[in-house]
Amino acid sequence: MNISRGYDQLSHIYRLVEFIAFGRALERARFHHFSQLRDCKRILLLGDGDGRGLALACRVAPHARIDSIDFSAGMLARAARRLRPEDRARVTLRQADALAFNFPADTYDAVTTFFFLDCFSGEQVRAFIDHLRPALKSNALWLYADFALPPSGVLRLRARVWLALMHAFFRWQTGLAVRALPPAKNLLHAAGFRLQTETSWQGRFILSTVFTQTKVSPNR
C-alpha cells in the first residue's frame, strides 16, 4: 500500500472515524493550546490532515503566514476547501514528505504536530527533530498532541488495546510500518525543547503539550 494514497482514501472518512472512536477528545487535545499561536508571524503545520488545524490557525493568528505540509493530496484538497477566501494568500499548502522536506532556515515561530509523530519510529522522529530544528526561530513553540501510554493500571491496559487497534487499522488502510509509539516527548526534550505546559485526558492517554525551543538563534 502506498502510504499517501492510503491517507487519500481515508481523507473522506477521517473525521467520522475519529468521532466514532474518540468523540471530541482529539479535537480538544489538538486545539487546547492553540491560543499560543496568536502573535506568531510564521507557522508550520505538519501532517495537519483534513485542515481543521489550518482553519483554526488562520482564525487564531490573523497576521501569520502559514505553511502546511502533508503528503496526502486528498487531505490537502480538504484543507484547501476549508480555507476562507481572505486567508488563501497567506497560506501555502504543500504536498511533500515532511521528513525529507528542505525547510527554510530560521523561519518559523511555531510548528504543530498533531497525531503526526506517532506515524514514525523513534529513530525517524529523532532524525526529524534534528532536521527541522534549524528552520525554527529561537524560542519557537512546538505544539504537540498525541497518544501516550498511561503510567500503570487499567488505563494503561486500555490504552494498549486502543493503540493495537489503531496501529492495525492504519497498517491496513495506509501501510503504516510502526507498531509502537515513538518516545517523541523524550526526544524533543533531549533535543533541547523545554516543556512549557501540558494537559492530558483519559488518564494521560491523550496529551496536548507545548514545548519551547531553547537554542539561541545565530542571527540574533
Site for ligand SAM contains 182 (CB under 6 A): no
User: Measured at the alpha carbon of residue 138, what is the angle toward residues 134 and 139, in degrees to the nearest 5?
Assistant: 130
Site for ligand SAM contains 31 (CB under 6 A): no
Residues 111-140 binding ligand SAM (CB under 6 A) are 114-116, 119
Q: Does residue 29 contact residue 38 with C-beta atoms inside 8 Å?
A: no
Which one, 133 or 215, has the nearer CB to ligand SAM? 133
- Cell numbers for 136: 525554527
Site for ligand SAM contains 146 (CB under 6 A): no
Site for ligand SAM contains 97 (CB under 6 A): yes
Long-range contacts of 85-90 (CB under 8 A, 24+ apart): 87/58, 90/58, 90/64, 90/65, 90/66
- Residue choice 31, 37, 42, 49 for contact with ligand SAM (CB under 6 A): 49
Q: What is the smallest separation between the CB atom of 140 and ligand SAM, expressed in angstroms?
A: 19
Contacting residues toward ligand SAM, per CB under 6 A: 7, 30, 47-49, 69-72, 75, 97-99, 114-116, 119
